[in-house]
């Protein structure tokens, strides 16, 4: 399903984080970017991992890496948090899910109100009571 502007904003703000891997550690890491250790595995090129949750902060950090002529690799991944499946369900739009829930709730209220109004009529209740007695035998 196509994502709405609100869905894209939610994902960018609360779900996505930018992983930046470098060969060497930069001289300075801006505040707001976490440095995480990468396991020392033979054959792995990149040795340092930096995680940025803010895209503007990640862009400025990438610009500083380019100025310092450091080799780096970036990827945007989903954050591992309990609320991510609720905010950004896979292949679904949260906005449309909420819209369908609201429409279903409004429809259910109208149907229940109509049935209550219908069953409050004494003639109909008498006919239903007679039908139940007939079915009981």
Q: Is 43 left (phi over 0), alpha (psi -120 to 50) or beta?
A: left
Whether the pLDDT of residue 1 is over 80: the answer is no
Say yes or no: domain 5-87 is CATH 3.30.70: yes
| pLDDT for position 137 | 78
Look up the pTM and report it. Answer: 0.74
| pLDDT for position 43 | 81
- Predicted confidence (pLDDT) per residue in 7-17, tens digit: 999 999 999 99
Cα separation, 47 vs 102, whole angstroms? 49
- Predicted confidence (pLDDT) per residue in 2-48, tens digit: 899 999 999 999 999 999 999 988 988 999 999 998 888 888 888 89
């Amino acid at each position: 399903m196509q994502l709405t502007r609100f869905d894209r904003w939610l994902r960018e703000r609360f779900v996505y984080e930018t992983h930046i891997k470098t060969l060497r550690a930069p001289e300075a890491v801006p505040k707001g970017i976490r440095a995480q250790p990468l396991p020392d595995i033979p054959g792995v090129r990149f040795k340092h991992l930096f995680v940025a949750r803010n895209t503007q902060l990640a862009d400025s950090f990438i610009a500083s890496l380019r100025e310092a002529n450091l080799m780096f690799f970036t990827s945007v991944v989903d954050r591992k948090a309990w609320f991510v499946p609720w905010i950004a369900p896979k292949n679904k739009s949260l906005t449309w899910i909420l819209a369908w829930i609201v429409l279903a709730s409004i429809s259910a209220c109208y149907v229940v109100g109509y049935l209550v109004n219908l069953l409050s009529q004494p003639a109909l209740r008498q006919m239903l009571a007679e039908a139940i007695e007939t079915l009981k035998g």
